[in-house]
Amino acid sequence: MKPLHSIFIVDDDPIHQQITEIMLERLRIADAVSKFSDAQDVLDHIRLNAADPSGLPDLILLDLNMPVMDGWEFLEMFADLRPQLSKPVRIYVLTSSIDERDRERVDRFDFVSGYLTKPLTNDIIMALLP
């Protein structure tokens, strides 16, 4: 399997960021892993690089419960931005929430590829590859 070019981890918990990054690097599924604590920073980056496929991630692992801008707000804003992107960006929600209502709410975003619960496992990570 060919590794992904770039993965963005969007999570306000630095421990979860670090664990996820280490797992991704050990499995060698991405050439680059970037960590963000604020979803607004990710939106700004995507807006800035919308026309440049090399500046966009292949995959975003998105936490739902974050201060400032939560994952729900990110998904709403990303939905508007998505048609302007020069390549498809897959999003997986990665959350500690086991609330079935969250899963149902995520399902309303047809561009979200999946709903994953923390902690990640090697098998789940390998399933992220196209």
- Evaluate if residue 19 carries a pLDDT over 60: yes
At 67-125, the pLDDT tens digits run 989 999 999 999 999 999 999 999 999 998 889 999 999 999 999 999 998 889 999 99
**Are 35 and 63 a contacting pair, CB within 8 Å?**
no
Q: Which residue has the higher pLDDT, 52 or 29?
A: 52
Q: Which pairs from 100-104 meet CB under 8 Å and 24+ separation?
A: 102/64
Token digits of residue 91: 């999003």
Percent of the chain with pLDDT over 70: 98
User: What's the fold here for domain 4-127?
Assistant: Rossmann fold (3.40.50)
